[in-house]
Amino acid sequence: MSYTEVPGARVPIRMWADPATVEPVAMQQLRNVSTLPWIEGLAVMPDVHFGKGATVGSVIAMRGAVCPAAVGVDIGCGMSAVKTSLTANDLPGDLSGLRSKIEAAIPVGFAMHDDPVDPRRLHGFPTAGWDGFWERFDAIAEPVKKRQTRAWKQMGSLGSGNHFLEFCLDETGSVWLMLHSGSRNIGKELAEYHIGRAQKLSHNQGLVDRDLAVFLAETPEMAAYRHDLFWAQEYARLNREVMMGLFKDVVRKEFKKAKPMFESVISCHHNYVAEETYEGVDLLVTRKGAIRAGSGEYGIIPGSMGTGSYIVRGLGNEAAFNSASHGAGRRMSRNKAKKLFSAQDLAEQTRGVECRKDSGVVDEIPAAYKPIEQVMEQQRDLVEVVAKLKQIVCVKG
């Protein structure tokens, strides 16, 4: 489908979703964002749903301003995936042992490594810039500096919620490794600190929603936020790289006889800010639950823990600010999913997948998400499919 433009907004709101199916609260959020005086345009992805401040599945382009709540508290959250030389024929009949080895190597939930991961011990890990990255921590927001030791130990850990590690097969039977995570607690604390700081600034006092408070270009507050924002985005990228290194090491050990090899890793943020230019205008583009899909750029669009995912290539649609959806998108809240479904429902909907099937992850049940095939159909002018993957092992946070 092409987009639908929402009438009555101050700036274009282009939707790659059926407006009739979008929650009224999410539609109101989009209209609220469109009232900001710095806004240049909004692109709405087919997985759009209600979020704090700004909707998840929205791309917000501003001139000379950025809204920290529109990035979200998991700064730099995103995906990584890599194709391996393994095939379905290399796999054992029982995959529970593989899941246990992955969980032992990569802490999940609120857990962290006992000692910081030394990237030099990870096979082929690119360590250039590692020391410089941590040196930039010295300039981070003062109240968050006390978290450095925790940030070190959480580097290379999964987190909770909808974060996951997966062992997948594509339609040719090739094995892929895939993971979803972000900037862990350090990103959350930085986001909350700067959101609170923005809300106190005088130019934000008349906004329709205090969560839409912005920082303005060429101010000390913006400079401080940009430093911490880009540092946290880099932390998220490195966190995924370390996890992927640990994941690969597990696979090397478990499939030693097959001597697995790995292609180049595909990686993309889906909660972040980028400096981009459209029609000669320099903009700060915030993607909250959206990936960049410039012409020829690779991306990852996951479904739920029982439905599979897509590797895609961007078509460079500037009407969408070169963006695409970040996943299937929730169609109900976590609390509603817990009320509607049981652990037995989860087991039925994840049949054939080696994963947790207990009440602790019922909120991640596939039925709580929109159908990924429908989401992909709605963005045919944003991306083309390179590979369709189906998970056979899923480790949830």
- pLDDT by residue (tens digit) across 206-228? 999 999 999 999 999 999 999 99
Q: Tell me whether residue 163 is annotated as binding.
A: yes
Name the percent of the chain in helix, strand, coil, to the closest 5: 40, 25, 35
Tokens at 295, concatenated: 């012409």
pLDDT surpassing 80 at residue 379: yes
Average pLDDT for 57-61:
97
164 marked among binding-site residues: yes
Report the C-alpha gap between 73 and 193 in whole angstroms.
10
CB half-sphere exposure, 177, CA atoms < 13 A: 25
Assigned token pair, 28:
């109101």
Length of the chain: 397
What percentage of residues in the chain have a pLDDT greater than 70?
100
Please measure the distance between the N-terminal and C-terminal CA atoms of the chain and give it in whole angstroms: 34
Reported confidence tier of residue 8, pLDDT bands at 50, 70, 90: confident
358 annotated as belonging to a binding site for a ligand: no
Q: Residue 60's closest CA among 378, 375, 285? A: 285
pLDDT at 2 > cutoff 90: no
User: Is 187:236 a contact under the CB 8 Å cutoff?
Assistant: yes
Do residues 235 and 272 touch, judged by C-beta distance below 8 A? no
Instruction: Give CA–CA dist 246/153, Å, rounded.
Output: 14
CA gap 71, 56 in Å, rounded: 9
Within 8 A by CB and 6+ apart from 166, the residues are: 177, 178, 179, 309, 391, 393, 394, 395
146: pLDDT strictly greater than 90? yes
Contact criterion met (CB below 8 Å) for 280 and 127: no
206 carries a ligand binding annotation: no
185 is in an annotated binding site: no
131 in a labelled binding site:
no
Q: Is 262 left (phi over 0), alpha (psi -120 to 50) or beta?
A: beta
Q: What distance in Å separates the CA atoms of residue 264 and residue 82, rounded to the nearest whole number?
A: 6
196 is in an annotated binding site: no
Tokens matching residue 219: 């101010």
- Answer whether residue 1 shows pLDDT above 60: no
Residue 202 phi/psi, 5-degree rounding, is -60, -35
The whole-number average pLDDT for the span 110-121 is 95
Active site residues: 326
Residues 107, 243: Cα–Cα separation, whole Å: 9
Q: Across residues 280-294, what is the average pLDDT?
A: 97
Tens digits of residue pLDDT in 258-283: 999 999 999 999 999 999 999 999 99
* Cα torsion through 383, 386, 389, 394, rounded to 10: -70
pLDDT score of 126:
87
> Tell me: the pLDDT tens digits for 173-203?
999 999 999 999 999 999 999 999 999 999 9
pLDDT at 105 over 90: yes
- pLDDT surpasses 80 at 53: no
Upper half-sphere CA count for residue 342 (Cβ side, 13 Å): 2
Q: What is the pLDDT of residue 110?
A: 92
